[in-house]
């Protein structure tokens, strides 16, 4: 009986903790830290490539815009050159008509009273004698 008593006395000295529900086990296995860093490295590399391609694409666009502007300037210069050639041709035609012999003769007769000499009245002098 003594042993029962000792057991009875010893039992209240123990504190009983209430049972809690066991923690739910994760459905997936925990990820390893190496896999996480590898995945981050891949995503950083992908972002870096996207940035590099974006910069290259922007460079191509700016080069194309510069070429387009140069082409527009070249077209304008060609138009000016064509206009200058046409103006020069018109001036050459005007000059040739201004230098025409009948017009000069008419101006000489009207302004200065000059007339064309008769070819039979022209004599040559020999200066070698």
For 21-44, what is the mean pLDDT?
69
Answer with the residue of higher pLDDT: 101 or 6. Answer: 101
Query: Which pTM value belongs to this model?
Result: 0.44
Q: What percent of the chain has pLDDT over 70?
A: 72
115: pLDDT strictly greater than 80: yes
User: Is 77:71 a contact under the CB 8 Å cutoff?
Assistant: no
Confidence at 60, pLDDT banded by 50, 70, 90? very high
């Amino acid at each position: 009986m003594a042993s029962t008593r000792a057991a009875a006395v010893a039992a209240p000295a123990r504190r009983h903790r209430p049972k809690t529900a066991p923690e739910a086990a994760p459905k997936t296995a925990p990820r390893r830290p190496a896999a996480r860093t590898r995945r981050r490295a891949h995503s950083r590399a992908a972002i870096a490539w996207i940035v590099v391609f974006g910069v290259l694409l922007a460079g191509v666009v700016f080069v194309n815009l510069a070429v387009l502007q140069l082409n527009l300037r070249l077209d304008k210069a060609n138009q000016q050159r064509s206009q200058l050639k046409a103006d020069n041709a018109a001036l050459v035609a005007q000059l040739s008509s201004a230098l025409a012999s009948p017009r000069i003769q008419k101006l000489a007769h009207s302004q200065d009273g000059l007339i064309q000499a008769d070819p039979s009245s022209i004599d040559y002098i020999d200066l070698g004698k």
